[in-house]
Chains A and B, each alone.
Chain A
Amino acid sequence: MSAENIAAFVDITDVICPITFVKVKVALEDIDAGELLAIRMNDGEPVRNVPRSLKDEGHLVAAVERRVDGTFTVLVRKGGNQ
């Protein structure tokens, strides 16, 4: 994991689409452009769709890491893809 400061963390393993993206959007709205958000998400639908939706909305998916428990940590830079 990056040593760069992560401004916020959101866990979306307990919800399903579209609440997954809703929680991510809410977390992103509360950090500044250029800051990093870490998202913990499940394999499957979330990891296929959430990063794609984030790119569509102009954010940069900086890293996608599989964790030992089978979930993923996705690092997103707010507004980094504009």
Chain B
Amino acid sequence: MEIQVNGKTVQLEKEIAVAELLEHLRVEARQYVSVQVNGLFVARDEFLARKLAAGDEVEFLYFMGGGSRSLSNEQLERYSRHIILREVGAKGQKRLLDAKVLIIGAGGLGSPAAMYLAAAGVGTIGLADFDAVELSNLQRQIIHATADVGKAKVESARETIATLNPDVAVSTYRERVSAATIADIIKDKDYDFIIDGVDNFSAKFLINDACVLLKKPFSHAGILQFIGQTMTYVPGTGPCYRCIFPAPPPAGTAPTCREAGVLGAMAGIAGTIQATEALKYILGVGELLTGNILVIDAETMEFRKVRVAHNGNCRVCGDNPAIRELFDEEQPVCETR
């Protein structure tokens, strides 16, 4: 007998059911197929019972098509709390899975940022850090565990991410970011967003300059004692870090973590905000901390958004920028970890 399937004639030796037809035609991913016979939808539980007769017109179509990545059942479950958000949905989740975020510094800020981004299903995460895990890191650098002391931070972090979410591909760069290396690291995977999780001023300025020159958005954050600050730079909108802080502070004037100490959970607050900004940027949701610097005081639990403007005289993103090539600022104070 002859039937029509998706407008084409198909010869059948005997009367068969819809389920058998799909098998006969070697239709892949049959659980994602919707079937109509003579213009009427056939429910899945009727696939076996619904026999096809000569002359029937069968139409089947995939409803998870579109040529893009489709989410597996496991991913639907893993990311269900994202997908039910109107602002995310499956499209947004796929965007996260396709996104690439580079985290420079796998320490206090980078730890929570990396873990939330990994948990969120950001498909590619780059980690750049030269250091090895030390016991004194564990008070705040929650991606590392006691057994990791002595291990390269990027390796320890990679292992934690792997246990958290197998969807994430991790690229590691065990190098000190410098004017000589940072552009290659950013270009390696053409990262979409960069997180500044470093603890020294020279690297903070370097990340800023690199992101401005390479036109990459990034999140800056810094923490000290019970306070923190964070802002987001997006090329073409709002100020960069150098608009607000033109140069590192003079030697000896800026306290460092080592000198001043930091409440471990402050790193969690600031790093988690950085992850949130990265997710919002990728998803195109809400308002970023561009043109605003968020100042956090954990003692009073005051969160204050301070408006900051683009500086036309900025040395890197101003109208006549003096900085056209990357360079390393002198680190005015001792290196911290």
**Most chain B beta-carbon neighbours within 10 Å: one of A1, A6, A27, A40:** A6
Q: Measured between alpha carbons, how far is A37 from B71 in the docked complex, in Å?
A: 19
Residues of B within 8 A of A1 (CB): 40-41
Whether the Cβ atoms of A7 and B83 lie closer than 8 Å is no
Q: How large is the interface on A (under 10, 10 to 19, 20 to 34, 35 or more residues)?
A: 20 to 34
Whether the Cβ atoms of B83 and A22 lie closer than 8 Å is yes
B7 interfacial by beta-carbon distance below 8 Å? no
Quick check: which of B59-67, B123-131, B186-194, B323-331 contacts chain A, the rest being far away?
B59-67
A47 interfacial by beta-carbon distance below 8 Å? no
Interface of A (DSSP majority class): mixed
Q: How large is the interface on B (under 10, 10 to 19, 20 to 34, 35 or more residues)?
A: 20 to 34
B120 to chain A, nearest CB (A): 16
**Most chain B beta-carbon neighbours within 10 Å: one of A3, A9, A23, A38:** A9
Whether the Cβ atoms of A11 and B83 lie closer than 8 Å is no
B51 interfacial by beta-carbon distance below 8 Å? no
A selection of 24 A-B contacts at a CB cut-off of 8 Å is A3-B40, A5-B36, A5-B39, A6-B34, A7-B34, A7-B61, A7-B63, A8-B61, A9-B34, A9-B41, A9-B44, A18-B80, A18-B81, A19-B80, A21-B84, A23-B76, A25-B90, A26-B76, A26-B83, A29-B89, A29-B90, A31-B63, A37-B63, A40-B44
Residues of A within 8 A of B41 (CB): 1, 6, 9, 38
B91 interfacial by beta-carbon distance below 8 Å? yes
Whether the Cβ atoms of A30 and B80 lie closer than 8 Å is no
B29 interfacial by beta-carbon distance below 8 Å? no
Q: Measured between alpha carbons, how far is A25 from B64 in the docked complex, in Å?
A: 11
In the complex, besides A5-B36, A6-B36, A26-B71, 5 extra interface pairs with C-beta distance below 8 angstroms are: A1-B40, A8-B34, A9-B35, A19-B77, A26-B76
Whether the Cβ atoms of A30 and B61 lie closer than 8 Å is no
